[in-house]
Structure 1
Amino acid sequence: MRLPVTGVLLAAGAGRRMGMPKALVRAADDTPWVELGTRALLDGGCSEVVVVLGAAAGTARDSVPDHVGVRTVVAPDWATGPGASLAAGLRALDGETVACVSLVDLPTLPVAVVRRVLARVDGPDVLCRAVFGGRPGHPVLVGPAHRAALVEAVTSDPTDRVAGAWLRRDGVVGVDCADLWDGVDRDRPDRSDPSPVE
């Protein structure tokens, strides 16, 4: 039987290059990026989504969709680095759930990419990620067999590069999605794309 998959949307950062926390950013049509990211994960096949907040969490909660399958957690130590947010999200999951990790600064993440990555769920030891022309990206699937080790790694050093290095060391498998999307995150205001790609 296929394991359940829970989306983990990381939306805790201060967004210094954006000029504001990305959990507060809205597309040109006024849709919050948090809503776009959550919708892509749900429509792509996740049974629920955990949105990880940090910077401006009180205000950002208003942007999280009011949906039975969506809940929020706050990473109290989010400012120490993205690993702290990832750890908070992974700790919020039930034992046999596969984590499908994505970022709030991917507002145009196509549902088709999520579906392609989720199609690789084949057991508790699944470990794979979307790649775009050989460049690693998101979503990232982390099976329950790997979650504790990844949490330990990013907790010991929550800086930006630790999770990627851990994934490579532990044999993450790439899922080519370059035909579906460019995989580029939007970390500056002038790179924001207002509409999601289906």
Structure 2
Amino acid sequence: MTNPATRPPCYGVVLAAGSGSRLGRGPKALLTKSNGETLLNSAVQALLLGGCDEIVVVLGAEAQRVAAHLGDVGVKILINDRWSTGMGSSFALGMAAVPSGAGALVALVDQPGMDAELVRRLISAHRPGRITAAGYRQGTEPLRRGHPVLFAPEHTQPAAAAAAGDAGARDYLAAHRGLIDLVDCSDLDTGSDVDTVLDLHLLGEH
């Protein structure tokens, strides 16, 4: 566990560039939860209230329209002109904005159950030099790795360099399994994201 007084800065990186083509409702960042909050604003607030020092948001599809919904939140907005090539380019762009010496907590905009308590738990459990990932289980199944994922400073740029296509950090994480600490967050969320119409119930729709 990292002492809050001595830990390096933690940047929250929200990947929100996709068009939501499989869902057919426009960018998923603008989907609204049952409380009327967009997924993008929900993710940003979770990272801010959960302990991230700065927030980077990576946009792509309909970037200007999506950015307009953020208002005056004080986040750094990056626009990925290559968003259609897959999540890898957005991941690399967002991680490149994290300064040397800072860690990066990477979150997906379409995970509606992520909240400040979950983010706070990951940051609190993080150990120097490690990669900390939220873990989720169903019943008696083993923990499965999900999001968010917190990278210690020494992993941010190597992970960005390894990103390609739609894999994001997948290849880097697979190559560094021994450095990953899974933190059980099953009591806070299922780790599910909104991909298709069948997932809309995750937003609280009825």
What is the TM-score with the length of structure 2 in the denominator?
Answer: 0.86
- Paired with 1:92 and 1:27, the residues of 2 have a C-alpha distance of 29
Unpaired segments ≥5 residues, structure 2? 1-5, 138-142
Aligned CA distance change for structure 1 residues 30 and 180 (closer, same or farther; 3 Å): closer
Q: 1:113 aligns with which of 109, 118, 125?
A: 118
Q: CA deviation at 1:65?
A: 4.2
| Partner of residue 80, structure 1 | 85
| Partner of residue 196, structure 2 | 188
- Paired with 2:69 and 2:130, the residues of 1 have a C-alpha distance of 31
Q: 1:138 aligns with which of 147, 150, 165?
A: 147
Matches within 5 A, 1:43-192: 43-68=49-74, 70-123=75-128, 125-133=129-137, 134-154=143-163, 157-160=164-167, 163-171=169-177, 172-192=180-200
Per-residue CA deviations over 1:125-165 (Å, capped at 9, x if unaligned) read: 221211101221111011120112111111xx2223x6223
| Partner of residue 5, structure 1 | 10
Aligned CA distance change for structure 1 residues 96 and 65 (closer, same or farther; 3 Å): farther
Whether the 8 Å CA contact 2:43–2:115 is kept in 1: the answer is no
Whether the 8 Å CA contact 1:23–1:63 is kept in 2: the answer is no
- Paired with 2:123 and 2:84, the residues of 1 have a C-alpha distance of 30
Secondary structure of 1:180's aligned partner: coil
Name the stretch that deviates more: 87-96 or 164-173: 164-173
- Paired with 1:14 and 1:180, the residues of 2 have a C-alpha distance of 27
What is the TM-score with the length of structure 1 in the denominator?
Answer: 0.89
- Paired with 2:84 and 2:166, the residues of 1 have a C-alpha distance of 10
Secondary structure of 2:61's aligned partner: coil
- Paired with 1:30 and 1:115, the residues of 2 have a C-alpha distance of 24
Letter matched to residue 191 of structure 2: G
Larger radius of gyration: 2
Unpaired segments ≥5 residues, structure 1? none
